[in-house]
């Protein structure tokens, strides 16, 4: 005989808190990278290792660099604010939401599972887009430092190819873990 779950069933939040903490931690690290990148002056002629004047990145590459840094920063900030809002909502639910259950030393609260999952998904999308914009900014940094891709510089391609392979691979793993957290 199968027992139907109560509509007032308490929902464990420990895996969700862990996912939210992970999002905030990743965003914090990458936001620091964005600030460091924005502090750098891409138009300083001493910041390049390119000898061939035909391979020097033009002003449009520097403009794209700054734009991608700003897009990245906004995405990380958006994601972190959503994640921290979710965490605060869970804390409020633990305090004001009725009975709190202790289970394996983790506090669980009665929360809206769908709203929590949507919030985590939206926050993860912000983190992923921030990572993609940061990757594009780094591609522009490489073009400024080592020469444009149109020149076919081995050094430029040697820096960019691993970047565009490893970052998306890491993002796929990250998205998989977030999706796993959403199904639990």
Q: Rounded CA gap, 57 and 50, in Å? A: 9
Q: Is residue 87 scored above 60 in pLDDT? A: yes
Q: Using one digit for the tens of pLDDT, what is the confidence trace for 39-85? A: 777 767 777 777 788 888 888 998 999 999 999 999 999 999 998 88
- Token reading at 45: 């002629």
Strand stretches in 77-180, DSSP E: 101-103, 106-108
CA distance 32 to 95: 33
- The pLDDT score that the predictor gives to residue 134 is 92
For residue 42, what is the DSSP state? T
pTM listed for this prediction: 0.77
Angle in degrees, 0-180, between the axes of helices 14-39 and 113-146, rounded to the nearest 10: 20
Q: What is the DSSP letter of 152?
A: T
**3-state class (DSSP) for residue 166:** helix
**pLDDT of amino acid 91:** 75
- 174 or 6: which leads in pLDDT: 174
Place of tokens 């033009």: 58
Residue 95 has pLDDT above 80, yes or no: no
> What is the rounded distance in angstroms from the CA atom of residue 163 to the CA atom of residue 72?
16
Q: Which residue did the predictor score with more confidence, 18 or 67?
A: 67
Q: What is the pLDDT of residue 153?
A: 84
28 pLDDT tier (thresholds 50, 70, 90): confident
> What does the pLDDT read at residue 135?
94
Q: Quick one: pLDDT band at residue 94, thresholds 50, 70, 90? A: low
Domain boundaries, given as residue ranges, for the chain? 14-41+53-182
pLDDT at 163: 94
Contact 50, 147 (CB under 8 A): yes
Cα distances (Å, whole numbers) of residue 108 to 51, 84, 93, 179: 61, 18, 9, 20
The per-residue b/e assignment along 36-73, b for 16 or more CB within 10 angstroms, e otherwise, is ebbeeebeeeeebebeeeebbbeeebbebbeebbebbb
Question: pLDDT tens digits for 100-115?
Answer: 444 444 455 567 778 8
Here the tokens at position 127 are 């983190």
Residue 169 has pLDDT above 60, yes or no: yes
Question: What average pLDDT does the structure give for the chain?
Answer: 80
- Flag the least confident range among 13-17, 94-98, 119-123, 154-158: 94-98
């Amino acid at each position: 005989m199968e027992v139907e779950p109560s509509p007032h069933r308490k929902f464990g939040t420990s895996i969700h808190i862990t996912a939210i903490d992970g999002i905030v931690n990743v965003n914090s690290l990458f936001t620091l990278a964005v600030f460091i990148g924005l502090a750098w002056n891409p138009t300083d002629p001493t910041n390049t290792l390119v000898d061939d004047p035909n391979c020097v990145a033009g002003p449009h590459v520097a403009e794209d660099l700054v734009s991608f840094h700003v897009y990245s920063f906004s995405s990380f900030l958006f994601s972190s604010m959503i994640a921290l809002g979710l965490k605060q909502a869970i804390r409020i639910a633990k305090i004001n939401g009725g009975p709190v259950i202790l289970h394996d030393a983790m506090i669980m609260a009665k929360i809206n599972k769908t709203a929590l999952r949507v919030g985590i998904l939206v926050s993860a999308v912000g983190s992923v887009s921030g990572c993609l914009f940061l990757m594009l900014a780094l591609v522009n940094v490489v073009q400024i430092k080592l020469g444009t891709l149109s020149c076919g510089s081995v050094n430029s391609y040697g820096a960019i190819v691993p970047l565009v392979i490893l970052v998306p691979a890491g993002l796929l793993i990250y998205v998989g873990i977030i999706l796993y957290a959403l199904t639990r």
